[in-house]
Structure 1
Amino acid sequence: MSGDMLQIFSEFLGTMMLVLLGDGVCAAVNLKKSKAEASGWVVIALGWGAAVTIAVYVAGSMGPAHLNPAVTLGMAIIGNFDWALVLPFIIAQVLGGILGAVLVWLTYLPHFKETKDQASILGTFATGPAIRNTVGNIMSEVIGTFVLVFALMMFGKNTFTDGLNPLVVGVLILSIGLSLGGSTGYAINPARDLGPRIAHQLLPIANKGNSDWGYSWIPVVAPMIGGAIAALLYIVIT
């Protein structure tokens, strides 16, 4: 496998792992008769932080482990990534998100039959706002993604003990989730939201409702804006 193809595959594999473990904790908390049912937001935030850490370890030996189109865009803007690979990376990330969501569905298959709340089922796959307000929801995702991408860029200015970086990234995700995630569920990653939402649309999930495509553009567009703003600020200050 060529170097570029290996990197693209690493984004697919890493994003699959990210969504499998991240949406997996959402399933554990949201679905009926799960042993973790109703264990709350802190468990979800911890689960997502751990998911990102594991996914970065998985993908990082083969590529840059962006696992997020907003990160890929930001790194390209500051000149740390080849523009020719931006679209292939994003496609791989979305496809990885779809597969990860399919694996979550298979893991919790009998629990979907026990869960009647359509919002809880969709929330296992994709994000949604606590209060539906277009401007507020966009701002929440822009700010959360700005923090993510800008912090990742600044991490590059620091020296970490070999192998520690993924743990620091996991702490960053945990911090964003606990501090900024209560408004929209902190997608902060178009592939993390769009891939599983596509899976929700296509899979024969018991008791599912609609996939809320009316909201779906926000966790795709707003993180890309946040990532671009982070990159521009990074260029200005460095």
Structure 2
Amino acid sequence: MAVEIPPLITPSHLRRRGGLWGECLAEFLGTLVIIAFGDGVVAMAVAALPGSGRTEGPTAFFLGAGDWLLVTWGWAFAVAFGVYVAGGVSGAHLNPAVTLAFAVRRRFSWAKVVPYWISQVVGAFVGAALVYAVYHDAIHTFDQAMKGPKTNGHTLSSFSIFATFPAPYFHGGVWGPLVDQIVGTAFLLLLIVAVVDLRNTAPKANLGPLVIGFAVAAIGISYGANAGYAINPARDFGPRLFAYAAGWGDLALPGSLAGSFSHYWWIPIVGPLVGGLVGVLVYDLFVGDVLHIRAQQATPPEPGRTRGTPSQEE
């Protein structure tokens, strides 16, 4: 807004927010927004819509493959708005994989990495708590109506509101979900750095956050079924911690379900951290380095052209 907005905090207390503390607050709130809308859309799909009589039955959800679009677009909006909220203060990493990749290749201060990570995880935890507070009755009703194995009265389906787990066709294996998370996050970082690179065809008029949201939707549509496309350690671990505290027990930590998977909790952390580094390195190797050398040239060629073309007279 163009008008001057007076601060809510007195100047003596406000000065501390001008540096790292303010950036951490922005990372906290931006990540909270992502989880509040992201976990919120899963709660809608899994528990609230069935329980409110808007599907065929109290436990009926995802009747067709197209229903998955509700979740993927919900997460896309969640990420876009989270970036809009925090971008002007912290750069809106909102993802430990982004923070690590930027520290390695974008000169982001290593001293800020751990504070950013903590802020992101805490924001994700609080966002999950907010979703649970809003949808507690729907989740409880869904778990009561749902048949099958339960942990402390909770089901794997209701756990999916908060955190991720591998598809049954992996048969509890580690490498399939781990590779999935590496690949998905590599694409995420590749697309993020492409979008924010002003040397490239960067979006104008502050459309970057929206395009990044589209990138998250694309990953969910193309790679979401394998392991729930966490592609963000904070997005998975913060809500996982909350789910553990709220009674989901072993489903959350260590992330085990007898006969299906065990000790899964670390995969949505390690996979994205590795994948983020892969994505930023691939972008810089194939595109970033080319843009760098062209920027050093006095008259860089037009995109798609490597050297001048002879004139018609020649």
TM-score bracket for the superposition, by shorter chain length: over 0.9
> Which amino acid letter does the alignment assign opposite residue 221 of structure 1?
V
> Which amino acid letter does the alignment assign opposite residue 252 of structure 2?
S
Q: Does 1:195 align with 2:238?
A: yes
Q: 1: distance between equivalents of 2:94 and 2:274? A: 17
1:195-219 superposed Cα distances (whole Å, 9 cap, x missing partner):
00000011257xx773152111000
Partner of 2:51: 33
- Do 1:122 and 1:209's aligned partners in 2 also have CA atoms closer than 8 Å? no
Q: 2: distance between equivalents of 1:165 and 1:79? A: 17
Partner of 1:107: 134
Q: Does 1:130 align with 2:167?
A: yes
> Which amino acid letter does the alignment assign opposite residue 29 of structure 2?
L
Structure 2 unaligned blocks of 5 or more: 1-16, 147-154, 255-262, 290-314
Q: Does 1:22 align with 2:30?
A: no
| Pair 1:95–1:231, CA change in 2 (3 A) | same
- Comparing 34-43 with 216-225, greater Cα deviation is found at 34-43
> Which amino acid letter does the alignment assign opposite residue 182 of structure 1?
A
* Selected match of 1:142 from 167, 171, 182: 182
> Which amino acid letter does the alignment assign opposite residue 129 of structure 1?
P
- Do 2:190 and 2:279's aligned partners in 1 also have CA atoms closer than 8 Å? yes
Alignment of 1:128-207 (within 5 A): 128-131=165-168, 132-155=172-195, 156=197, 157-203=200-246
* Bigger proportion of residues as helix: 1
| Bigger CA radius of gyration | 2
1:142-195 superposed Cα distances (whole Å, 9 cap, x missing partner):
000000011111112333212211110010000000001110010000000000
- Do 2:202 and 2:208's aligned partners in 1 also have CA atoms closer than 8 Å? no
> Which amino acid letter does the alignment assign opposite residue 119 of structure 1?
L
Alignment of 1:42-57 (within 5 A): 42-57=69-84
Q: 2: distance between equivalents of 1:57 and 1:8? A: 15
Structure 1 unaligned blocks of 5 or more: none
Partner of 2:97: 70
Q: Does 1:96 align with 2:133?
A: no
* Selected match of 1:215 from 250, 264, 269: 264
How far 1:79 moved relative to its partner? Answer: 2.8
> Which amino acid letter does the alignment assign opposite residue 176 of structure 1?
I
Aligned CA-pair RMSD: 1.7
Q: 2: distance between equivalents of 1:67 and 1:217? A: 19
1:17-43 superposed Cα distances (whole Å, 9 cap, x missing partner):
000000000111111404576253110
How far 1:236 moved relative to its partner? Answer: 2.9
1:78-123 superposed Cα distances (whole Å, 9 cap, x missing partner):
0331111011000000000000000000110111220224111110
Equivalent position SS for 2:167: coil
- Comparing 209-218 with 54-63, greater Cα deviation is found at 209-218
Partner of 1:2: 18
> Which amino acid letter does the alignment assign opposite residue 219 of structure 1?
P
Q: TM-score, length-normalised on structure 1?
A: 0.94
Q: 2: distance between equivalents of 1:65 and 1:233? A: 22
**Identity fraction in percent:** 37
Q: 2: distance between equivalents of 1:210 and 1:144? A: 23
Higher relative contact order (CA 8 A, sep 6+): 1
Q: 1: distance between equivalents of 2:142 and 2:251? A: 15
Q: 1: distance between equivalents of 2:166 and 2:102? A: 28
- Do 1:18 and 1:52's aligned partners in 2 also have CA atoms closer than 8 Å? yes
- Do 1:78 and 1:234's aligned partners in 2 also have CA atoms closer than 8 Å? no
